[in-house]
Amino acid sequence: MIVVMQHDATPAQIEEVVRRLRQFGFDIHLSAGVERTIVGAIGDKTPAVIETIEAMDGVEKIVPILHPFKLASREIHPDKTVVRVGSVEIGGPEIVVMAGPCAVESEAQLLATARLVRAAGATILRGGAYKPRTSPYSFQGLAEEGLKILALAREQLGMPVVTEVLSPRDVELVAQYADILQIGARNMQNFSLLREVGIVRKPVLLKRGMANTIEEWLMAAEYILSSGNSQVILCERGIRTFETATRNTLDLSSVPVVRDLSHLPLIVDPSHGTGKRQYVPAMTRAAVAAGADGVIIEVHPHPEQALSDGPQSLTPEQFSELMASLPALAQAVGRTYTCPAPVHER
């Protein structure tokens, strides 16, 4: 439930309400707005509790939270959340671009791609070290060796890295190397994995499952938030429909819907969303126009040689061209996109 304080409630009155709620066993999430403070209280609300709190000094009213997701909802947290990764802010006015290969294949491949995407305008480097492949005979990723290569790229280029963690038993290891932990579409409802990344002090990029509703996706975010990690970034990556012309159907309507329902930052993955590189630029621009906080794009120096997702990987030239179109587009929808200054490699 939400306890709305009167606009002139004193700090002492707010404190007392919080103290009583804690006594009743509620988890408290305070949101001090410009107009008034609202106290989000997660727990079992009996009529007696409601009556007691409602009668306290400084309390205006008590409003139930209508959605099954609570910590992820706008009701409890009216202002947008900004997740900070180094000097990059995800969820602020600036459009964030994450780019890199689907998988880390070798040191040379990753460093070359990292340099190219950084020069063209990406601020965060992506690359999978643990790959969730449909076939057990396909390339599964370089595992810890891949994580070390990502760390090397971060060191040399000063770019934070995002990489997928597939299993609860790898969370600790991946968190030692990654700046953002990615939960892939296939694991969106792996609840033990969600709880495990919920106790890590690193941002989590939570992809939407390929057959999951927006509500299920926000409930998955709720697992991470309620485990104690407030740094969740949502990622729309397309869902399965009857359409076969694209790999998935990129559900861009989820962007304004999630924006309405949740305070969490939201990015879009047009690479997995379409599965075909020729459609990635249009859907990147559409994502920004729809209000996404950023995009995550697969780029490979030689897509035809990629060990995974070559058909949807942009060439470096295509990626540069796409980035050049972003500043004007961002501006048209009240956002900014600034190509980062050239990097001086260490």
335 binds, among Mn ion, ligand PEP, none (CB under 5 to 8 A by kind): none
Encoded tokens for 295: 């995009």
Encoded tokens for 314: 């942009």
Binding residue for ligand PEP (CB under 6 A) from 115, 118, 259, 272? 272
What lies within 8 Å, CB to CB, of 84 at 6+ separation is 90
Encoded tokens for 338: 């600034």
Residue 131 CB, nearest distance to Mn ion (Å)?
8
Q: Please give the DSSP secondary-structure letter assigned to residue 62.
A: E
115 binds, among Mn ion, ligand PEP, none (CB under 5 to 8 A by kind): none
Instruction: Please tell me the count of residues contacting Mn ion according to CB under 5 A.
Output: 2
207 binds, among ligand PEP, Mn ion, none (CB under 5 to 8 A by kind): ligand PEP
> Of residues 263-322, which lie at the interface with Mn ion (CB under 5 A)?
309
Q: By beta-carbon distance, which residue lies closest to ligand PEP?
A: 184
Is residue 128 part of the contact set for ligand PEP (CB under 6 A)? yes
147 vs 237: CA distance, rounded Å: 23
299 vs 297: CA distance, rounded Å: 6
Binding residue for ligand PEP (CB under 6 A) from 132, 301, 311, 340? 132
Binding residue for Mn ion (CB under 5 A) from 49, 102, 149, 234? 102
Is residue 306 part of the contact set for ligand PEP (CB under 6 A)? no
196 binds, among Mn ion, ligand PEP, none (CB under 5 to 8 A by kind): none
Encoded tokens for 306: 């990629």
Residue 102 CB, nearest distance to Mn ion (Å)?
3
Q: Is residue 260 within 8 Å of residue 74, measured between CB atoms?
A: yes
Strand ranges (E), the chain: 2-5, 27-32, 37-42, 59-63, 83-85, 88-90, 96-100, 124-126, 161-164, 180-183, 204-207, 232-236, 266-268, 294-298
Residue 278 CB, nearest distance to Mn ion (Å)?
17
Q: Which is nearer to Mn ion, 102 or 180 (CB)?
A: 102
Residue 140 CB, nearest distance to ligand PEP (Å)?
12
φ and ψ of 73, to 5 deg = -85, 155
122 vs 85: CA distance, rounded Å: 14
Strand ranges (E), 197-335: 204-207, 232-236, 266-268, 294-298
> Of residues 135-194, which lie at the interface with ligand PEP (CB under 6 A)?
184-186
φ and ψ of 297, to 5 deg = -130, 135
Is residue 198 part of the contact set for ligand PEP (CB under 6 A)? no
Q: Which is nearer to ligand PEP, 212 or 318 (CB)?
A: 212
Residues 176-205: x where in contact with Mn ion by CB under 5 A, - otherwise, as a string: ------------------------------
Q: Which is nearer to ligand PEP, 75 or 269 (CB)?
A: 269
Q: Which alpha helices (DSSP H) does 240-345 contain, by range?
A: 254-261, 270-274, 280-290, 316-324, 326-332
Which residues of this chain interact with Mn ion, rule CB under 5 A? 102, 309
Binding residues (CB under 6 A) for ligand PEP: these are 102, 128, 132, 184-186, 207, 237, 269, 272
